[in-house]
C-alpha cells in the first residue's frame, strides 16, 4: 500500500534524494533490524515489532520461542497464529468493502488482533469475535497534494508539485525515480524539476503502465530522459549532513523512521505504528500501507521514507496535522514498487556481478479466499546478495508482485479452482525456480443455489476439521444435493467425511475403514439423497481417525 514522503532534491541539474534523520545502528550487539533479517519466518510466528530496543516476536508454541531466543529476539506468547490472523483479516476486509466511515484496517501483531479504525460502522464487525478490535477515530486520511513551495519538488505537467522519491535503474541502466502513484496518474506526462515548468527532466508514467493508485498500492515511476540530469543516492536532510542510501528494508512496528519532502517541516521523524494496513482515503482504498507518527503536509507525496540509511517507503498520505502518538503519515513500502517494475535502487554501492539465483520459496499455502480473491503465503527464499521480491504466477502469467512473503491475488472468478506458483527475485534480475504449486478455490458468492467455503482447514490426527456455508436458497433442496470436496490427505481410509444439514441431520460421504491407505482425491463430488429445507447453515465435517497422516481441506461447495 502507499505512503507520502519527500525525498529527492533537484539541484544544479542533479537529482538528489534526501533521507531522513541519520540513525546509527550499533555494531555490537546486533540491532533488532539485523536480528529480524536473520530470523526466518515460520508458521509458529505471528508478527514482529520493536520495543525498548529489542526485537519482539509473537509466537504460538515453545519450539518457535526457542528459535527466537537463539536468534537474539524476545518471544511473546500469543493466542492466534499468523494463519488465524490472516483468515480473520480476509473476513474483515470482505465486510469493510461494504462500509462507510472506516479509516484503516489491518493486523496488529502487538495486540494479536485485526484492528479496524473507524469513524462509524462499528457494529458491522461485532460477529467476528474478540480477534477483531474496533477503535474509534475522529480524523480522515487524505492523499496529499500541495502548492509550489521552496525546496526540492517535481511537477507532473502543470499540476501542483509532489516530492521525488528514490532514484533507481532498470535492467538496461536507464535512470528513473520512484514517487507516489497519485502523482503519476496521467500517462506520458511531462515531468519538471527544480526550476519548475521551465526545466523538464523526463516523463511520468511512460506508456501508461508505470503508475498504480488502487488496492494494489500508491506508487509510480518517472523516467529521467533529458540531458544534463543525473541521479544521486544522497538524501537531503535539510541542514544536516546528507545521508547516503545503502539499500532497502521493510519497516518494523515500533522502529524510528524519517521522511524528506518538499513541504515544511521538510524533514520529520516518528515511530512506525502499523504495517500492511488497508487505508480508506475517501476517493480510493489502498492495501499494504504503513502508518507513522511523523508529521507531513501536502506536497510531500512521493517523497522518501528511511530507516537510518535504508530506504523503506514512498510517501502516500496522512492527516496534514501533527497529533502526538497518532497515525499522522502513511507510506508505500518501497520494495513493492522496485519489484513491480523490476527496478534496482540506486545506492552508494557499486553494482555486484551476481549470477546466482535465489533459492526456491518454500511451502506455498492458501490463507483464505473470497468470491474474487485468494490470499497466499510462503516461506522466504534466500540469496547470496539479497532477495528483492517475489512474483506469484498463474501458469506463466504474473498475477502479483510483492516484496514480502504474502500476497492476495484479486480479480478472480467465483467458484473457480486456481493453481499458483511463487518465484523469488534478486536485484540483479536472477529468478529462482518456481515453488511447488498451491491450489485454492474462490468462494461461490451469494447468487444461485451453490454455496462454498474456500478457507483452508488442516486435517490433523484424531481431530475434526469443520467448515460451514450459509445458504440463502429458498424452498426445498434439489434431489440429489451435490457436494464437492477439494483438498489433500495421505490416507483416505482414515477419514470420516459427512455433511450436516440445517436441521441437524447427518449425511455420510466417506466412512472410516480399510487396510491400505490411498491418497484423498484432489476433487471429489458426492450425490446426497437429502430432502431438506435449503436455507440455513450447512456444515462439512472431516474427522481423521488414524495417526501419522497429514492433509488440508482447501475448498468445498454444496449445490441445493
Average pLDDT over residues 495-504: 92
Q: Which of 4, 176, 182, 259 is catalytic?
A: 182
Peptide bond into 29 cis (omega under 30): yes
Average pLDDT over residues 201-209: 89
Of 86-95, 113-122, 253-262, the one with minimum mean pLDDT is 113-122
pLDDT band with cut points at 50, 70 and 90 for residue 157:
confident
Q: 467-494 pLDDT, tens per residue? A: 988 888 888 898 889 999 998 998 999 8
Q: For residue 233, is pLDDT > 80?
A: yes
Average pLDDT over residues 264-292: 87
Q: Which of 104, 232, 248, 301 is catalytic?
A: 301
Q: 509-537 pLDDT, tens per residue? A: 998 887 788 899 888 999 998 889 998 89
The partner residues of 215 in beta bridges, in order of sequence, read none
282's CB contacts (< 8 A; 6+ apart) are 140, 141, 142
Can 218 be counted among the known catalytic residues?
A: yes
Q: Which of 86, 93, 152, 218 is catalytic?
A: 218
Q: For residue 446, is pLDDT > 60?
A: no
Nearest-angstrom CA–CA distance, 237 and 420: 44
Q: Give the other-Cβ count within 10 Å of 205's Cβ.
A: 23
Of 171-185, 237-251, 515-529, the one with minimum mean pLDDT is 237-251
pLDDT for 389: 85
C-alpha 457 chain-centroid distance: 22
Between residues 95 and 123, which one has the greater pLDDT? Answer: 95
Kindly indicate whether the domain formed by 362-441 is annotated with CATH number 2.60.40.10. Answer: yes
pLDDT for 220: 94
Superfamily covering domain 450-559: Galactose-binding domain-like (2.60.120.260)
Average pLDDT over residues 170-193: 88
pLDDT band with cut points at 50, 70 and 90 for residue 1:
very low
Work out whether strand 362-369 and strand 344-345 pair parallel, antiparallel, or are unpaired: unpaired
For 150, counting Cβ atoms within 10 Å of its Cβ (0-12 exposed, 13-18 middle, 19+ buried), the class is exposed
Q: How many angstroms separate the Cα of 19 from the Cα of each of 218, 237, 310, 443? A: 20, 6, 9, 45
- What percent of the chain has pLDDT above 70? 88
Between residues 121 and 188, which one has the greater pLDDT? Answer: 188
Q: How many angstroms separate the Cα of 511 from the Cα of each of 4, 194, 541, 555? A: 58, 74, 12, 20
Q: For residue 313, is pLDDT > 90?
A: yes
The pTM of this model reads 0.56
Can 371 be counted among the known catalytic residues?
A: no
Domain residues of the chain, as ranges?
A: 362-441, 450-559
Counting every residue, how long is the chain? 560
Q: For residue 115, is pLDDT > 70?
A: yes
33 grid coordinates: 533490524
Can 489 be counted among the known catalytic residues?
A: no
Between residues 246 and 9, which one has the greater pLDDT? Answer: 246
Q: 127-156 pLDDT, tens per residue? A: 888 999 998 887 767 655 432 233 357 778
Average pLDDT over residues 325-354: 83
- What percent of the chain has pLDDT above 90? 31
Of 114-128, 129-143, 144-158, 171-185, the one with minimum mean pLDDT is 144-158
Average pLDDT over residues 238-256: 83
For 359, counting Cβ atoms within 10 Å of its Cβ (0-12 exposed, 13-18 middle, 19+ buried), the class is middle
Q: 15-66 pLDDT, tens per residue? A: 444 444 434 444 467 888 888 888 888 889 999 999 988 999 999 999 999 9
Asked if residues 232 and 224 have their Cβ atoms less than 8 Å apart, the reply is no
The mean pLDDT value of the chain amounts to 83
Nearest-angstrom CA–CA distance, 4 and 388: 22
Our CA angle for 160, 325, 315, nearest 5°, is 30
pLDDT for 240: 65
Q: For residue 11, is pLDDT > 50?
A: no
pLDDT for 152: 58
pLDDT for 3: 34
Nearest-angstrom CA–CA distance, 317 and 289: 10
218 grid coordinates: 500508491
Q: How many angstroms separate the Cα of 14 from the Cα of each of 227, 229, 300, 400? A: 11, 5, 19, 34
Amino acid at each position: 500500500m502507499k505512503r507520502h514522503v519527500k525525498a529527492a532534491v533537484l539541484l544544479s541539474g542533479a537529482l538528489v534524494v534526501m533521507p531522513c534523520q541519520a540513525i546509527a545502528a550499533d555494531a555490537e550487539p546486533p540491532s533488532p533490524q539485523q536480528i529480524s533479517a536473520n530470523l526466518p519466518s515460520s508458521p509458529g510466528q505471528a508478527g514482529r515489532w520493536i520495543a525498548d530496543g529489542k526485537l519482539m516476536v509473537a509466537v504460538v508454541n515453545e519450539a518457535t520461542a526457542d528459535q527466537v531466543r537463539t536468534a537474539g529476539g524476545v518471544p511473546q506468547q500469543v493466542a492466534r497464529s499468523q494463519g488465524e490472523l490472516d483468515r480473520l483479516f480476509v473476513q474483515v476486509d470482505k465486510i469493510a468493502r461494504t462500509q462507510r466511515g472506516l479509516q484503516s484496517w489491518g493486523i496488529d501483531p502487538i495486540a494479536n488482533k485485526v484492528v479496524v479504525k473507524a469513524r462509524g460502522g462499528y457494529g458491522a464487525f461485532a460477529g467476528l469475535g474478540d480477534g477483531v478490535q474496533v477503535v474509534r477515530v475522529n480524523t480522515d486520511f487524505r492523499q496529499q497534494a500541495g502548492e509550489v513551495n521552496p525546496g526540492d519538488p517535481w511537477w507532473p505537467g502543470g499540476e501542483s508539485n509532489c516530492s521525488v522519491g528514490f532514484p533507481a535503474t532498470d535492467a538496461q541502466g536507464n535512470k528513473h525515480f520512484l514517487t507516489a502513484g497519485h502523482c503519476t496518474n496521467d500517462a506520458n506526462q511531462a515531468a519538471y524539476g527544480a526550476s519548475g515548468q521551465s526545466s523538464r527532466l523526463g516523463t511520468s508514467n511512460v506508456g501508461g503502465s508505470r503508475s498504480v493508485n488502487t488496492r494494489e498500492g500508491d506508487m509510480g515511476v518517472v523516467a529521467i530522459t533529458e540531458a544534463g540530469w543525473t541521479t544521486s543516492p544522497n538524501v537531503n536532510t535539510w541542514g544536516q549532513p546528507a545521508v547516503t542510501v545503502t539499500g532497502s528494508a521493510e519497516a518494523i512496528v515500533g522502529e524510528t523512521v524519517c521522511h524528506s519532502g518538499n513541504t515544511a517541516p521538510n524533514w520529520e521523524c516518528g515511530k512506525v505504528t502499523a504495517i500492511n494496513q488497508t487505508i480508506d482515503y475517501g476517493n480510493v482504498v489502498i492495501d499494504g500501507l504503513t502508518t507513522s507518527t511523523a508529521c507531513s503536509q501536502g506536497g510531500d507525496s512521493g517523497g522518501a521514507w528511511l530507516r537510518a540509511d535504508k530506504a523503506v517507503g514512498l510517501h502516500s498520505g496522512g492527516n496534514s496535522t501533527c497529533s502526538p502518538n497518532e497515525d499522522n503519515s502513511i507510506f508505500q513500502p518501497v520494495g513493492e514498487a522496485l519489484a513491480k517494475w523490476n527496478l534496482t535502487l540506486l545506492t552508494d554501492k557499486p553494482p555486484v556481478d551476481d549470477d546466482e539465483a535465489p533459492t526456491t520459496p518454500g511451502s506455498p499455502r492458501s490463507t483464505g479466499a473470497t468470491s474474487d480473491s485468494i490470499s497466499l503465503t510462503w516461506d522466504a527464499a534466500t540469496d547470496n546478495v539479497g532477495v528483492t521480491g517475489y512474483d506469484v504466477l498463474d501458469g506463466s502469467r504474473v498475477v502479483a508482485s510483492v516484496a514480502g512473503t504474502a500476497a492476495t491475488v484479486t480479480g478472480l472468478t467465483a467458484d473457480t479452482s486456481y493453481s499458483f506458483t511463487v518465484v523469488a527475485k534478486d536485484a540483479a534480475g536472477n529468478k529462482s525456480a518456481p515453488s511447488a504449486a498451491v491450489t485454492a478455490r474462490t468462494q461461490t458468492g451469494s447468487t444461485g443455489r451453490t454455496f462454498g467455503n474456500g478457507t483452508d482447514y488442516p486435517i490433523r490426527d484424531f481431530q475434526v476439521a469443520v467448515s460451514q456455508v450459509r445458504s440463502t436458497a429458498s424452498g426445498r433442496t434439489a434431489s440429489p444435493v451435490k457436494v464437492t470436496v477439494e483438498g489433500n490427505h495421505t490416507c483416505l481410509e482414515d477419514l470420516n467425511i459427512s455433511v450436516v444439514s440445517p436441521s441437524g441431520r447427518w449425511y455420510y460421504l466417506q466412512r472410516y475403514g480399510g487396510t491400505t491407505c490411498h491418497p484423498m482425491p484432489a476433487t471429489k463430488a458426492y450425490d446426497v439423497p437429502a430432502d431438506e429445507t435449503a436455507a440455513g447453515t450447512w456444515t462439512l465435517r472431516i474427522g481423521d481417525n488414524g495417526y501419522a497422516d497429514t492433509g488440508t481441506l482447501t475448498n468445498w461447495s454444496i449445490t441445493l
